[in-house]
Structure 1
Amino acid sequence: MLAVIILAAGKGTRMKSPLPKVLHLLAGEPLIIHVLETALNLNPQKILVVVGHKAHLVREKVKAYAVELVPQKEQLGTGHAVLICQEALKDFSGAVLVLCGDVPLLSPETLKGLLSLHFREKATVTLLTAELDDPTGYGRIIRDGTGEVVKIVEEKDASSREKEVREVNAGTYVFDKDFLFRALPQLSPENVQKEYYLTDVIALAQRAGKKVVAFKTPFKEEILGINSQRELAQVENLFQQRLRAKFMAEGVSFLQPETVYLERRVRLAPGVVIYPMVSLRGKTFLAEGVVVESHCDLKDVSVGPGSKIRAGSILEGLVIPPATVWPK
């Protein structure tokens, strides 16, 4: 049995935007939707979304999904955010996966690997880690001489020696539900940020003699979180590269790939040819053999096989028949 908690209450002060952080767009969709749809791939029994800053806006974006919203009236840290989910999970028994709503690149395959390790090892806590060339900003994974995870130290609380550690916490965890909610009331805000850190549960588990294991992913870009507009742009660039690579592997030709913008719901058939400076948005579908010339912007457009879209076309909501040159 699996329940998922998605942490989405933060304001995202460093974004310097009136929008809640999780509603910023990546490939045309809010960050929270990317995380939600990844979670749904795991077939959980329950998904909880912790909301706080401008919760009504987040509620509107996720209303089409079978999720339960849990309001966090005061942002007192990640530990507090998970603790307030206790009532919603009172009748649930099993593993609890905690995800961050601002980490949109995590793949279902990575999370399945994390869960598989947790169940195989019969662990109480399993955390996702990665080794970064520049770990600045991330909590560090502290291991003992045998390689066992002892604790996670947030950067603001880390010593100079601990900051040299390059294995970092991805902010993604699997917990045994019963242990989790016994441990959370023991947390203390004795740290630089005066918050209740979910990461402190790892040290509590170790002291209680519980099994703590780590799943280190080789796909370190997957753990990238978004805390600023610069980081959002970096993740957008990675996501666009992923989309273009996927389509090229399926037989789509991009004459100058880095100049083409794609949104997540776009579908392209084999044999499509895309010229430079093209934007494909919404639920646009290009059938086999379609050619889109330069400087086009297509949103929610369906183009039939063998058609050509002339340079400079700006189209929305159209259905273009097969073997058509548009505009005629």
Structure 2
Amino acid sequence: MYSQLRICKRYILRNKLKSWKFKYFPDLVDLLVYLSTRRAARRLQGGQLGVLIDSNVLGHSITHETVWVSTGPKKWGDSYIDTGYAARVCVYGPDADSDVYKNVMFLPGIASLAREGLIIFYTSAELRDEQDRQPIGRFRGYGLFDRGLLQNVDIKSIDGYAFPAAGSIWSGRPSAREQQQSRLKNRESDPLYIALIEQMGRKNNLDAWHICTAERHNLFCFLTMDFKLRRIVDANLHKEPFRSMRTRVMTPAELGEFLGLQPIRPALFSYHDASWFVRPDLHHSDNIRRPLRSYRRRSDKDV
């Protein structure tokens, strides 16, 4: 009898704890992030920072994905079926130590400052065109319970939109990528753009245009997680036009350290906007996002 009562009490306490996590834990995490950004907020009281955000930052900002958690085979009539449930898990585990993860940990603070209006995120016509050619889930999440650190952050285009001509490639119409390259070719009268291409190489002409766009609109930095691009820029900082440019090319970690932000583990955001099962004890075994094809079948191999 007493053992049954103890089991019942444990069950009630466990359910109350889960309910508490859903209801109160997000507010506690938000308070932690807010307090961690006060030093940066004081530095930014004199004015806002304009930031052009690269597509890869949006992709890496998705830190929680939907997975199928197996509960094993169960008998259904005369046969056995695999059972389980969908749940939100963090992409990164406690063993994560990649350059991507180290940069992702600075996104909560940067996003918090953006929600306060101290950092203004921008995209551009060519960045939007670049994103429109890719699966939308790459930047917003593929699963129903996916979540990103940049949710509810306003990102507006600084120079409007590009409208590639629609049509099938079988009709002879250039693809969206080819149309974009054609537009960039027509912009080679811009001396800054040409100078950037000369230093970065023509195969990086799209990144050169993004940097040129940020400089032309007096933005503080072009925020990217393309580490190869970052190394190219570093190798040419002593040369023109980089030497005289006001716009910087920075990673989230570099921007966070510049502002005095503290890195915050993305696993803490597991319960934000959660309305279904959350498994904070699980994570992807390789600490990277799952590809789109893995959502076409139910599997718990990634957790």
Higher fraction of helix: 2
> RCO higher in 1 or 2 (8 Å CA, sep ≥ 6)?
2
Same fold (TM over 0.5): no
Q: TM-score range by the shorter chain?
A: under 0.3
TM-score (norm 2): 0.23
